[in-house]
A and B are shown apart, each in its own frame.
Chain A
Amino acid sequence: MIPINAVFGLGLVVFFIGLFGVLFRKNLVIMLMSLELLLNGVNVILAGLSYHLKSPRGSIFAIFVILMAVAEAAVGFALVLACFRQKQTYDVDELRDLRG
């Protein structure tokens, strides 16, 4: 039996590593990768819950999360490509056109 706290711990660690990645990097592509880490952390927690409650619901939810990750990655890349063509930069701080 794998202790549930260990699973939570792992998931949270990966989640927060991803969160720091999103907040601290300016490189657009690396930010997107950190988003994937966020989602993976969440999936670990879901799989752990699934394991402990002996229910498939957790991993089903995780599958949907992966699907959403795919969708978001695809659109994100399209946006990165379009952005890059317009501005020739991938510094996220340069993307300021939608100011109020």
Chain B
Amino acid sequence: MPVFILIPLFPLLGVLLNGLVGIRYFSKRLTNVVAAGSVALSFLAATASFLGFLRSGGPALTKSLYTWIPGGLVRLAGGGAAAPSIELAFRYDSLAGVMALVVTGVGLLIHIYSIGYMAQDPGYVRYFAYLNLFTFAMLILVLAANLPVMFIGWEGVGLCSYLLIGFWFDRDSAADAGKKAFLMNRVGDFGFLLAMGLLLSSLGTLDTAAISAAVQGGGLSSAAATAAALLLFLGACGKSAQIPLYTWLPDAMEGPTPVSALIHAATMVTAGVYLVARMHALFSFSGTALTVVALVGAVTAVYAASLALVQHDIKRVLAYSTISQLGLMFVGLGVGAFAAGIFHLMTHAFFKGLLFLAAGSVIHALSGEQDMRKMGNLRGHLPRTYAVFLAGALAMAGIPGLSGFFSKDEILASAFASGKYGIWGLGILGAAMTAFYMFRLIFLTFFGPERLTPEARRHLHESPGIMVIPLQVLAVLAVIAGYVGLPHVLGGGAWFSRFIESSTGPHEVHLAAATEVLLMAISAGAALAGLVAAYFVYVLKGGAPARRLAERFRLAYRVLLNKYYVDSFYGQAIAGGALLAGRVLSWFDDRVIDGLVNGSAACVRHVSAVSEAFDSGVVDGAVNGVGFVHRRLSSGLTRLQSGYVYNYALSIVLGIVVLISIFVTVF
């Protein structure tokens, strides 16, 4: 039994223990040990598998646990051959290995942080059970060898994000946010399911390696490949919050901050990126799909960055920032540099997770305040938090030397090299905006005049060690992680990219060394420009130029504040449409029922009216006679409608007797 099978097993044990037994019987300490311990064991298993994989230099390991749907049971439409069996199988290759390390590693740090952050919460055990369940589902997703098993993990993380976003479910806004996330994910899942159906009927298999081999061997028409790729991308958009399925992520900040760190920065939203990278052969085969991916990614990156510029809530800035960075990852994938996209995924997990946790630390220190307009000058009061936050912000903005710079730059260089200059331009714009809003956040929070409420001022305190230490570990990672992917131009061996490419296929970047250095300088320059601009506006001028701009372009400012009115559009168009359909149907139902109920009386009435009109010319006596007959008839008929259920039952039996008689005599 290869070691990597153990990786998802430990969190599963954690959930079962904490969820079934711990709710009742465990002390807080035992819950901590079970929850964090299971993730720690998982991390050890991931590390062991990784080292083993490195040593064997080897091919991917596959292990099937159980034949889920035996082959031949389902026949494909069109009289084709029977479908092959679908196994509950897992695969470990370089891509899966890296993802497993990121998920378990960052997950472990966040579990430890949560021990401090959620210490006072009554739903303590439930929280850790959900967190373990999420880790389990995410690991199933990344280790899956075929699409149905991946879909199990996919749905699982969607469910867990619903449970965790709506963790404080007695708050209406939190419950609504959870529902919104789940429903939007569902739209994406629809695309995933359709893609699975398409691939199964065209290629006859859903195993990821088999699909890649079949596509590269020319087994799929271009149209079908494009369709399948775009449908999968729809699923990825739902999970990774790209246009048009992104509005759930900012609302998802209703959940506890460690949840935002784990699910919405480091792991779950990256599932979409992982999916596209895993199916790289399919996407590479269809140029259209790749272009769509890159375009959507680039537009989303700039769009979300523009929204981050005006947010007041510290977590929402980070939420839009996540959407923007995910867009950048998709840009990387869309220009064929799958390894670069994954590289950015990893560095982003470190610094974005760090930023969210550090933000949590700030919020915790201010007893729950999240509005940046009520912060300021926290640098002296929260020195350790400030230090790690600064590290994260520098990495995020792409300042040279830190991890974010290397990963971001690799993506941009690949974009430029593949000739997509427009996308490269959008990327540079995004980088500048990223630096700007990131440092706007830093300056508003940690510098400047103090704008705290007296309540917050009184309780101001640095976070406990158990929360700070994971932050510091992440900060170190955010700084140094970039060096595993150091490009050739700067003297490194680009080990990370080559490692990942063993799973995603080689990708050559043909750029002269000088061009590459020039591009690096431009992106570094953009980042520094953003930083300097933020410094200028928010520190030197105390925010005045921003306010003046908002005054001058009041309409644009309002549009940004209202998130381009997308949310209200969705609410009215989609929810409103469903309500309208319901109303139409109910109107129809009323009419039909009323029609039937009144039908008999109306028929009788019409009949008598018609015959009365018809006979009124004849003889008065005849007319009266007809009316009289009708009245007697209808009064007789209404006596049938006695209201007694008993009479109706007898009539039913009588009716059956009559019907059977007819049936018997006719046949």
Q: Are A100 and B637 in contact (CB under 8 A)?
A: yes
Residues of chain B in range 624-660 having any CB-CB distance to chain A below 8 Å? 637-646, 649-650, 653
Q: A19-B653, A23-B650 are in contact. Are A99 and B642 (CB under 8 A)?
A: yes
Partner among A22, A31, A95 whose Cβ is within 8 Å of the Cβ of B643: A95
Q: Are A100 and B640 in contact (CB under 8 A)?
A: yes
Say whether, besides A100-B637, A100-B638, A23 and B643 are in contact (CB < 8 Å). Answer: no
A-B contact count (CB 8 A): 31
B646 engages A98 (CB within 8 Å): no
A92 to B644: give the CA distance in the assembly, Å. 8
Chain A residues contacting B644 (CB-CB under 8 Å) are 93, 96
Highest count of chain B CB atoms <10 Å: which of A19, A92, A98: A98
- Docked complex: A74-100 residues within 8 A CB-CB of B: 92-93, 95-100
Tell me, in angstroms, the Cα distance from A97 to B645 when the chains sit together. 11
Q: Which residues of B have CB within 8 Å of A22?
A: 649
Q: Are B645 and A95 in contact (CB under 8 A)?
A: yes
A3-36: CB near B (< 8 Å → 1, else 0) gives 0000000000000000100110010000100000
Q: Are the C-beta atoms of A96 and B650 separated by less than 8 Å?
A: no
Complex Cα gap A33–B630 (Å): 41
Question: Given the complex of chains A and B, what is the CA–CA distance between A92 and B13 in angstroms?
Answer: 56
A92 touches B642 (CB 8 A): no
Q: Give A98 to B91 CA distance when docked, in angstroms.
A: 67
Query: Distance in Å from the Cβ of B93 to the closest Cβ of chain A?
Result: 46
Could you say which residues of chain B place their CB within 8 Å of the CB of A26?
646
- The answer to whether A100 touches B642 (Cβ under 8 A) is yes
Q: Which of B639, B640, B646, B650 interacts with A92 by CB under 8 Å? A: B646
Q: How far is the CA of A23 from the CA of B646 in the complex (A)?
A: 7
**Distance of A19 Cα from B649 Cα, bound (Å):** 9
- What is the distance, in angstroms, from A39's C-beta to the closest C-beta of chain B? 14
**What's the minimum C-beta distance from A11 to chain B, rounded to whole angstroms?**
16
Which residues of chain A come closer than 8 Å to B642, judged between CB atoms?
96, 99-100
Give A86 Cβ to nearest chain B Cβ, in Å. 14
Nearest-neighbor residue (CB-CB) of A99 within chain B? B643
Nearest chain B residue, comparing its CB with the CB of A96? B643
Task: Check A23–B645 contact: CB distance below 8 A.
Answer: no
Name the distance in Å between A41's Cβ and chain B's nearest Cβ: 14
B contact residues around A23 at 8 Å (CB): 646, 649-650, 653
Cα distance, A93 to B653, chains bound together (Å): 18
A98 to chain B, nearest CB (A): 5
Query: Bound complex: CA of A93 vs CA of B640, how far in Å?
Result: 15
With the chains together, A31 CA to B652 CA distance in Å? 15
Q: Considering residues B641, B649, B650, which has the most beta carbons from chain A within 10 angstroms of its beta carbon?
A: B649
Interfacial chain A residues near B641, Cβ < 8 Å: 98-100
Q: What distance in Å separates the Cβ of A24 from its nearest Cβ neighbour in chain B?
A: 9
Q: Is the CB of A97 within 8 A of B646?
A: no
> How many angstroms from the CA of A88 to the CA of B638 in the assembled complex?
27
Q: Given A92-B645, A93-B646, A95-B645, verify A100-B653 contact (CB < 8 Å).
A: no
Distance between Cα atoms of A26 and B645 in the complex (Å) = 10
A97-B650 in contact (CB<8A) = no
- Contact indicator A98/B649 (Cβ below 8 Å): no
The closest CB in chain A to the CB of B652 belongs to A22
Q: Which residue of B lies closest to A22 (CB)?
A: B649
**CA A96 to CA B44, docked complex, whole Å:** 74
- In whole angstroms, how far apart are the Cα atoms of A23 and B642 in the complex? 16
Chain A, range 42-100, C-beta contacts under 8 Å to B: 92-93, 95-100
Q: B52: shortest Cβ distance to chain A, in Å?
A: 52
A63 CA / B222 CA spacing, docked (Å) = 46
* Given contact pairs A100-B638, A100-B642, a sample of 20 additional A-B residue pairs in the complex whose CB atoms are under 8 Å apart: A19-B653, A23-B646, A23-B649, A23-B650, A26-B646, A92-B645, A92-B646, A93-B646, A95-B643, A95-B645, A96-B642, A96-B643, A97-B643, A98-B643, A99-B641, A99-B643, A100-B637, A100-B640, A100-B641, A100-B643
5 A-B pairs closest in CB distance: A100-B641, A100-B638, A96-B643, A99-B643, A92-B645
The residues of B with any CB-CB pair to A shorter than 8 Å are 637-646, 649-650, 653
Some 15 contacts from A to B, beta carbons below 8 A apart, are A23-B646, A23-B650, A23-B653, A26-B646, A92-B646, A96-B643, A96-B644, A97-B643, A98-B641, A98-B643, A99-B642, A99-B643, A100-B637, A100-B638, A100-B643
